[in-house]
Structure formats: C-alpha cells, structure tokens
Amino acid sequence: MRAMVRRGAREGLLRGTFGNVSVRVEGGLLITPTATDYLKLTAGDFVAVDLESGRASAGRPSSELPLHLAIYRALPSVQAIWHDHSPFAVAAGLVADQVPIFTGEGHGLIGRSLPVAPYLPSGSVALADAAARALAEAGAGACLLRNHGAVAVGPSLFAAYSCAIAVEEAAMHYLLTRDLHPAKLDDAEADAIRAAFAAYRMR
Ligand SMILES: [Zn+2]
C-alpha cells in the first residue's frame, strides 16, 4: 500500500497532502493519515478504522474518512478507494454533469461515463453519501466531486489506482475535445468492454 501511494505521489495524482487512499481489511479499512507528506509515509502511518463504528484504533485518519466509510458500506465489492484532487478531473467536474469516456480502458474501469456528484463540504457525511450514491446509481468505477476532486474504486488497490489514472485521462480527453465533435463508442460497445474487464479481473 505504501508503495502504491508513493507511486501516486510521484506520478502527480497525489500532490502535497491532498487526496487519500484506503484498502478494505477484515472488519474495516486501512487509510492514509491526515496531513502527511505521501513521499515520507511509512508502513506504520496507515490508520486502521472499524467499518461499523468508524473509529480509528490509533493515529489520525484522513479528514475524508467519511467518504471511504460510506463507499465501503454501500458497495461490498469495493476493496480499495483512491481519492485525489488531480487537475483535469477537477476541471472536468466544473463544466459537466456527466463526463463522456472515449477509450477502452476508460469504459473498462469506469463505465459508460463518469458521473459528477454535487459540491458539498469536504469531509462531510453529506458528501460521502452523495459520492456513494453517484457510484452506485451509475454502476461506475469512479465519480467526480464538483469543485473538489475524483474518487476511483476497484477490486484491488492496483485496480483503484489504475482507475484513477483512467479518470484523469478521461477528463483530459473530454476537455481537449469537447468543442470538436469527438468520436464516441455507443453504450453497447462500452458495456461489452466493461464486461470484458470484469471478467479479466485486474489485480
Ligand atoms: Zn479531497
């Protein structure tokens, strides 16, 4: 987990102390701590949290813990959550209610399109519920949070990280082409790709 988080920081998905990452474990989750430089994280810095009570056993979990709790509670298949404030994702969330997707990896990891949850205060239960609802209603692997960032989920941490990259790329493709009538796959093609990715089960 530490290696993946550091990789995300090196690749620019996690900048400064913005964003947070978690994995599901027996009875709860392990989440990045609040206000810590991701490049200096040690394995002992991750905070264990009970899923039912939402309480940390020790340490200070990310202030956006409610987002992670709501998603794990609502979506039992989710094994990892990657939340970042990557710039194209933020920008796309300002101008679209649904961000279209144009590539195979985008459809495979995210779905037909990328839903955008409304702005609500960071760290609030209301935002957490809105994000979980956006993911569940669209059956999507990711959603954007307006005026905030992106959330990507997956059956493993590597899958959630890959999905976060697909989100940032989808947002960039959208912003670069939205006035140019870009070619788009139809829903049947998108669904076929998503089913193929599910069968492949990225680990
Ligand atoms: Zn955030």
As a CATH number, domain 2-200 is 3.40.225.10
Report CA(101)–ligand 1 centroid distance (Å): 23
Q: What is the pLDDT of residue 15?
A: 85
Q: What is the pLDDT of residue 203?
A: 52
**CA atoms of 20 and 203, how far apart (whole Å):** 20
Q: What is the pLDDT of residue 103?
A: 96
Q: What is the pLDDT of residue 172?
A: 98
- What is the residue extent of each domain of the chain? 2-200
Q: What is the pLDDT of residue 37?
A: 87
Q: Strand 142-145 and strand 113-117: pairing? A: parallel
Q: What is the pLDDT of residue 202?
A: 59
Q: What is the pLDDT of residue 96?
A: 96
8 A C-beta contact, residue 110 and residue 59? no
What is the mean pLDDT for each group of 10 consecutive residues in the chain (203 residues)? 91 88 97 90 92 94 96 97 96 97 96 97 97 95 98 96 97 96 94 89 59
Q: What is the pLDDT of residue 134?
A: 97
Q: What is the pLDDT of residue 24?
A: 98
Report CA(86)–ligand 1 centroid distance (Å): 10
Cite the active site residues: 64
Strands of 142-145's sheet, edge to edge?
47-50, 28-31, 20-25, 80-84, 149-154, 142-145, 113-117, 98-100
Q: Hunting for tokens 């990896």 — which residue is that?
A: 105
**CA atoms of 178 and 174, how far apart (whole Å):** 5
Report CA(138)–ligand 1 centroid distance (Å): 21
| 3-state SS string for 66-126 | HHHHHHHHHCCCCCEEEEECCHHHHHHHHHCCEEECCCHHHHHHCCCEEEEECCCCCCCHH
- Nearest alpha carbon to residue 158 among 83, 86, 79, 88: 79
Q: Look up residue 61 and give its DSSP letter.
A: B
8 A C-beta contact, residue 84 and residue 14? yes
Q: What is the pLDDT of residue 163?
A: 97
Q: What is the pLDDT of residue 34?
A: 93
Q: What is the pLDDT of residue 124?
A: 97
Report CA(199)–ligand 1 centroid distance (Å): 31
Report CA(49)–ligand 1 centroid distance (Å): 18
Q: Hunting for tokens 């101008």 — which residue is that?
A: 95
Joined together, the tokens standing for residue 78 give 């989710």
Query: Which residues 6+ apart lie within 8 Å of 60 measured at CB?
Result: 33, 34, 35, 47
